[in-house]
Amino acid sequence: MIIVRPDAYRQYPVGRNRFTLVLERWLSEYIQIEPPSRYETWDTLPVEPGRSLSDVLRSDIPQDSDVLVVAQDGRLLTAPASEVGPRRTVAVLRAGTGSFALDQLGKLFVALEKSDPEALGAVGAALGEAAVTAGGLVLEDPLTESIAKVTFSVPAWSRTDDTGSFRPAVVQSAPAGLRRLDLSATGSSVTGQIAVKGWSVVRGPESDTAAGQELYEKLSGLFHYPLVLTVEEGKVTDTKATEAGSAIAAAALTHFFTAAPGRTEVTALEFGLNPAVPHLPFNCESNAVGTGKASASIHLVLGTLPLTEFEIVLDCVTSSLTALGGTTPLAGAGTVLAEQSPRRRMNRVIAANCGCH
């Protein structure tokens, strides 16, 4: 049994007196609420298959409510701002599939309890200030000898950054903790080679989760094996599998690029800020917001919704980000604390620019 403890969730704003836990019907057998003292009224709302979050908000949940939705069905994981309303705070948590789905859910609920929105906000602010003074950024991976430069006149951070607290009037993914540097803004660009490795996230229309899941599965080999992307003026021009295990991911990305225009564009760098959030082997936002062993994780974003069918978020777990001309890591592998990273032998990977392949 998974226990939901609304009193422990510091992400919700203060002052609401109602909490509603929305669950797909099958999940109601495995999840229950611990009675909160923070709220005057609380309840669990099991939802029958086929219903949408818009429908549930419209007919079953009063305004001035804090809402947590747990579901596999994409229709329950999104709703327009007009349906949420200005006085409701709605967070959604995607459940995985398979025999480990409940175990994964349990880990995400633990992360919700441990998340400190004030601390996440401070980390996000420090990262933003560092980018302003940097004048440009360098992303470097010593394993594959990949290096890329990120340039901008002024760093353009997304207005929808999710640095820990849930905001009213919109649907947000839980757990929270992410900052997004927009690279599609005028004066911003990235050029060089970028090594991607780790768990990916595929964002797409909630009405077609099967296609997104299929693409995610083809990218899953990147958890074990790196792939190097060549980027010129913000567009991917080549993909090179450095190991046989990343060849399927390379083919999937190549197909993604050629299927429609605009998909080769590197639209953003995203930084995961939340050390409490685990990386999990299914297509969920926790893979974007978790820091891993770093102070902030780095992700490369390809495409942009709704202009492209999917938005792909690729982890750069072995790379470090520094200021242009600087040596102190701002995010990524170089920020791993010594006590968190015991020395171990590293198998050398052939560099992407090696003449032997």
What pLDDT digit, counting tens, does each position of 133-144 carry? 998 999 999 999
Which of the four pLDDT bands, split at 50, 70 and 90, describes residue 348? Answer: very low
In a domain, 334, yes or no: yes
The answer to whether 120 touches 274, Cβ cutoff 8 Å, is yes
- Given a cut of 60, whether residue 355 has pLDDT beyond it is no
DSSP state of 28: G
DSSP state of 92: E
What is the domain count for the chain? 2
Identify the domain boundary among 114, 134, 154. 114
Whether residue 88 is found in the same domain as residue 122: no
Percent of the chain having pLDDT more than 70?
93
Whether residue 310 is found in the same domain as residue 252: yes
In a domain, 157, yes or no: yes
Whether residue 240 is found in the same domain as residue 335: yes
Residue whose C-alpha is closest to residue 125's, from 164, 87, 90: 164
- Given a cut of 50, whether residue 263 has pLDDT beyond it is yes
**What value does the mean pLDDT take over residues 191-203?**
96
Whether residue 279 is found in the same domain as residue 132: yes
Paired tokens of 159:
């207005």
In a domain, 348, yes or no: no
Percent of the chain having pLDDT more than 90?
78
Whether residue 66 is found in the same domain as residue 198: no
Whether residue 56 is found in the same domain as residue 146: no
In a domain, 215, yes or no: yes
Whether residue 154 is found in the same domain as residue 288: yes
Worst-scoring range by mean pLDDT, 115-119, 145-149, 250-254, 332-336?
332-336
- In sequence order, the β-bridge partners of residue 19 are 42, 66
| pLDDT, greater one: 220 or 160 | 220
For the stretch 79-112, pLDDT in tens is 999 999 999 999 999 998 888 999 999 999 999 9
Average pLDDT over all residues of the chain = 90
Residue environment code for 145-170, b if the CB has 16+ CB neighbours within 10 A, otherwise e? bbebebbbeebbbeeebbbbbbbbeb
In a domain, 281, yes or no: yes
The answer to whether 90 touches 171, Cβ cutoff 8 Å, is yes
Pairing mode of beta strands 89-94, 178-182: unpaired
Whether residue 102 is found in the same domain as residue 121: no
Which residue bears the tokens 């594959």?
144
Whether residue 187 is found in the same domain as residue 303: yes
Which of the four pLDDT bands, split at 50, 70 and 90, describes residue 345? Answer: very low
The amino acid occupying position 324 is L
CA dihedral 102, 107, 113, 116 (to 10 degrees): -140
Whether residue 279 is found in the same domain as residue 261: yes
In a domain, 219, yes or no: yes
Which of the four pLDDT bands, split at 50, 70 and 90, describes residue 46? Answer: very high
Give the domain range for residue 148: 117-168+175-340
Residue whose C-alpha is closest to residue 139's, from 69, 98, 193: 193
Identify the domain boundary among 76, 96, 114. 114
Tell me the whole-structure pTM to 2 decimals: 0.89
Whether residue 84 is found in the same domain as residue 153: no
Angle at 201 between CA 256 and CA 268, to 5 degrees: 75
Distance of alpha carbon 171 from alpha carbon 79, whole angstroms: 7
At 207 the pLDDT is 60
Whether residue 186 is found in the same domain as residue 286: yes
At 75 the pLDDT is 93
In a domain, 353, yes or no: no
The answer to whether 112 touches 175, Cβ cutoff 8 Å, is yes
3-state secondary structure 177-197: CEEEEECCCCCCEEEEEEEEE
In a domain, 356, yes or no: no
At 208 the pLDDT is 66
Distance of alpha carbon 218 from alpha carbon 220, whole angstroms: 6
